[in-house]
Structure 1
Amino acid sequence: MAISRLLLHFILLLLLRAFALLPTQAAARSGHNPSGTDDGNHGSFSRNLLEDKPRITEEMVHGYMSNSELEIAVHTFGSRCPNISRIYSSKFVYWRTVLLFLQWVIEISDKPGKKEAEPAFKFIGNVHGDEPVGREILMHLANWLCDNYLKDPLATLIVENMHLHILPTMNPDGFALRWRGNANNVDLNRDFPDQFFSVNNDINYRQPETRAIMNWVKQEHFTASASLHGGALVANYPWDGTRDKSKYYYGCPDDKAFQYMASVYSQSHYNMSLSKEFEGGITNGAFWYPIYGGMQDWNYIHGGCFELTLEISDTKWPKAAELPVIWEHNRMSMLKIVASLIKSGIHGRIFAANTGRPIPGSVMIKGIDSKVRASNTYGDYHRMLAPGEKYEAVVASMEGFRPKATHIVLEQEAVSLDFILDPDGADGQMELLRNDCGCRCDNELFHVLEAHLWLYLLVMFVLLTFYLLFKRRTASRLLTYRHSPRRPIAV
């Protein structure tokens, strides 16, 4: 009997080990295989910068933080304001540049690092190495919010109602080398996949800084963002390019919303809206000059993130003594463009009627060919819209559920709008599985279970067989025991 138990335990151990070796996911990831053909020249559209580089003197650099000093400043800020911030770099993405600099991000919120049903905004500075004003101004912004939280109503509004992510430098290599591109001499704002041309679709040619931003956008649920540049004074919005490469106004589906966002920044600026070159201090990118592979168009198309390109200084590399003045000229603009995520648009959550749980559906506006997705964790969505407009149909939908629509009149304040979707037949009855992180599990899990169903049945059959054999042998021994002479009980 002891041998039978030992054999049974040994078989169970082998089966458990076999289960542990089963695959947990059925899908394999691979790089994008671009469709269509190009001329094969991956240096098209000025991705590689072969022109003469402007001379940046020691006198110009003096007073600006070096990459090492910037890293120290970021961590010093984290130590000074731990209650409303966290510093991160490589939790989700590979944040190392060609020259192996780490790109540190500051997150500011009353609950930093925690998922909430709140909008998220990101600022990115120093996209071009020879435009360093953004990295300095963004550190001013972070410190101002820390110093004025619970003192200034705008600072308090931002910290308590959203998550602000600040990447002071996207291109520390270019800054260190004192030129526009990265260490491979590639213009990072021409390196993203483009909607019109497939030149950047091959991931093997994409720069590490670009990949980091793309992975970051996929991991976080950003509502809007802005990148800071220098050399002009204007708020630029999509589209950045045209299908035929010509220069003319080419608006994206959310053109009105982008004009509104750009105007919020320009009109809050000290003198941007007074521009003689750009009416109202704003411009459509393609109307100004077309570019391809730009970051703002990619964010809008692939991340559902409304991004502006902000030119915040007429001079690319002004003297360091001018930085406090440039910060003061841009301070209210930066605060108001971030706060506009809270004060305007429509916000809400999407729920399943059969379970009461949040679901990651999507929201569309009739007449606007653009979709905003709700988050996986809380089913919350945040849709930027131009105020003072009537929207005939706001439609929430998700596969397996019947869509619902309503109309709204959007005044100057934001509208809160939740949706409860009814299941559409049997498919809607399946509850969304969630792991410990609150993330939605893919249907791939069900494919794995189905593919290995035969193995589970076989294991159950083997276990049942051994159980019956064990029970039969035990019964036989018990019968023998019952008919054998019983020993007297010692007392």
Structure 2
Amino acid sequence: MGKQMFSKPPIQKSHELLLPTTKESCWILVFLLAFGVSSIHGDDGKIDFRYHHYLDLSRVLNDTAASCHEISRVYSVGKSVEGRDLWVIEFSDNPGVHEPGEPEFRYVGNMHGNEAVGREILVYLVQYLCSGYQAGDARIRRLIDQTRIHIMPSMNPDGFERAATLGPDSPRTSTSWGSYGRLNSERIDLNRNFPDMLPVWLLQEESQRRNHHVEIPEWYWDTLVAPETLSVILWSLSQPFVLAGSLHGGSVVVSYPFDSCGLRKVMRSYSEAPDDALFRKLAKVYVDGHRKMGKCGQVEPCNARNFTCKGGMTNGAEWYCVPGGMQDFSYLVTNCLEMTFELSCDKYPGEDELQTYWEDNKEALLSYMEAVHTGIKGFVRDGSGKGVANATISVEGVDHDVTTGELNIFDIKTYFLIPQRLTETTGDCSFRGLTG
């Protein structure tokens, strides 16, 4: 497949109802909620702790969906340059259907093909959720019954297959940063290939235009957009994701928006998002659930930055600038709050280390998914009881709105969720099904 260029956004018409509007507004006064971590239950007996090539990955996902057919399904959001499916497995008590009042969550792994730990951790999570649900694990059953969970183990299956030709030594070679799997088959870094929305957002803010969710600029479609990136953009706009995590390797730390340095282009300068306090609380959920992340003095640091002694988290741009990253795109274009989890110093460790990485991360993975239920959720209706599409929900003190989306034109229920606690509302909007 050749390199793809687009003269205009192919997504505007089909997804225009998911974009923001100022026609309807509700103002909400909130305070941030402290997050807790639950203890983990279940066993790992059915997990196959090894690396999974594309055919193995396809088999495991489909076998898992067949075994847990009542709560899961496998679907593809598109294909890689070399024609491999970008597989997603969904867990829900009603697979394939968005249920009003039930939040949508996603994990994405292996954007960089030679960062293999996150890919395998998600394969293990898939098996763990299925076996735990079948075994009657109360925590897993509650999570799946109340959440629609989407897991994409590999966004860059071509890159992984290339890295796998060298195996665990790949990340240690001088050429592995590019040639051996980091990039896709068109030599595009997928985590630099999304539209860099922060400069657009800042320029619109300076012109006093309401810009809490920014439309993808026309110029982006004249650039080289990888098919993997385009598929994830369309996927992101087709589902009302609320919370997400992207799994990477090369360090052990949680990185939160903004990744982009915006208009300043100053390396290692804090780039604060309007929801900065909330991002830090969500990051702490993952850090607290991890066995080693943020454990100062107990873990050998990956590099001189020594994030283990800095709370196990960092603002993305303060670490280094990433223009065109997925988490900034999610935050500035959609309602989704997304962060990056760096899981290992060694991007492609030996197979005998994989179970340890799973045990380090499994509580954190579950706790972070559970955090999607922290806050409020409900329905915005007009005076006649009809659902209001594209209603704007504004949080006092946070200059970034959340908007409702039209999930089904025949359904009067319009869903929103803010991962914060409601304390007071004003205006004409009617809220239903609020939770604390």
Deviates more, 1:115-124 or 1:370-379: 370-379
Query: Partner of 1:264: helix, strand, or coil?
Result: helix
Measure, in 2, the Cα distance between the counterparts of 1:190 and 1:310: 16
- For 1:98, the equivalent position in structure 2 comes to 81
1:200–1:206 CA contact under 8 A, matched in 2 = no
1:167-205 deviations in Å (ceiling 9; x for gaps): 010001111122200001111000000122779713451
1:285-327 deviations in Å (ceiling 9; x for gaps): 0111111010100000001110010001121001111111101
Deviates more, 1:275-284 or 1:70-79: 275-284
Structure 1 residue identity aligned to 2:199: F
Distance 1:186 1:323, change over 3 A: same
1:143-175 deviations in Å (ceiling 9; x for gaps): 111111262232112101010000010001111
- For 1:141, the equivalent position in structure 2 comes to 125
1:366–1:393 CA contact under 8 A, matched in 2 = no
- For 2:314, the equivalent position in structure 1 comes to 283
- 2:388 corresponds to 1:359: yes
- For 1:295, the equivalent position in structure 2 comes to 326
Measure, in 2, the Cα distance between the counterparts of 1:269 and 1:110: 27
Deviation of 1:81 after TM superposition, in Å, equals: 0.8
Distance 1:335 1:296, change over 3 A: same
Deviation of 1:358 after TM superposition, in Å, equals: 2.0
- For 2:239, the equivalent position in structure 1 comes to 220
RMSD of equivalent CA atoms: 2.4
Aligned 1:44-59 pairs, distance under 5 A = none
- For 1:308, the equivalent position in structure 2 comes to 339
- 2:410 corresponds to 1:379: no
2:50–2:120 CA contact under 8 A, matched in 1 = no
Which among 253, 256, 271 is matched to residue 237 of structure 1? 256
Q: TM-score, normalised by structure 2?
A: 0.73
- For 1:13, the equivalent position in structure 2 comes to none
1:363–1:394 CA contact under 8 A, matched in 2 = no
- For 1:469, the equivalent position in structure 2 comes to none
- More helix by percentage: 1
Measure, in 1, the Cα distance between the counterparts of 2:281 and 2:74: 31
Measure, in 1, the Cα distance between the counterparts of 2:434 and 2:220: 38
Query: Partner of 2:294: helix, strand, or coil?
Result: helix
Name stretches of at least 5 consecutive residues in structure 1 with no aligned partner: 1-28, 34-61, 396-401, 407-413, 418-491
Count of equivalent residues: 338
Deviation of 1:362 after TM superposition, in Å, equals: 2.5
1:243-266 deviations in Å (ceiling 9; x for gaps): 211121111000011001100000
Measure, in 1, the Cα distance between the counterparts of 2:423 and 2:113: 45
1:85–1:107 CA contact under 8 A, matched in 2 = yes
Measure, in 2, the Cα distance between the counterparts of 1:157 and 1:200: 44
- For 1:347, the equivalent position in structure 2 comes to 377
- For 2:53, the equivalent position in structure 1 comes to 66
Measure, in 1, the Cα distance between the counterparts of 2:88 and 2:222: 24
Which among 255, 259, 270 is matched to residue 276 of structure 2? 255
Percentage of pairs with the same residue = 34
Measure, in 2, the Cα distance between the counterparts of 1:175 and 1:259: 31
1:122–1:225 CA contact under 8 A, matched in 2 = yes
Measure, in 1, the Cα distance between the counterparts of 2:296 and 2:324: 27
Deviation of 1:357 after TM superposition, in Å, equals: 2.3
Structure 1 residue identity aligned to 2:226: Q
Structure 2 residue identity aligned to 1:173: D
Structure 1 residue identity aligned to 2:285: V
Structure 2 residue identity aligned to 1:166: I
1:191–1:200 CA contact under 8 A, matched in 2 = no
Deviation of 1:32 after TM superposition, in Å, equals: 4.5
Deviation of 1:416 after TM superposition, in Å, equals: 2.5
Could you say which structure has the larger radius of gyration?
1
Measure, in 2, the Cα distance between the counterparts of 1:230 and 1:199: 32
Name stretches of at least 5 consecutive residues in structure 2 with no aligned partner: 1-5, 11-48, 164-180, 201-216, 298-305, 408-412
2:331–2:337 CA contact under 8 A, matched in 1 = yes
Measure, in 2, the Cα distance between the counterparts of 1:240 and 1:404: 34
- For 1:447, the equivalent position in structure 2 comes to none
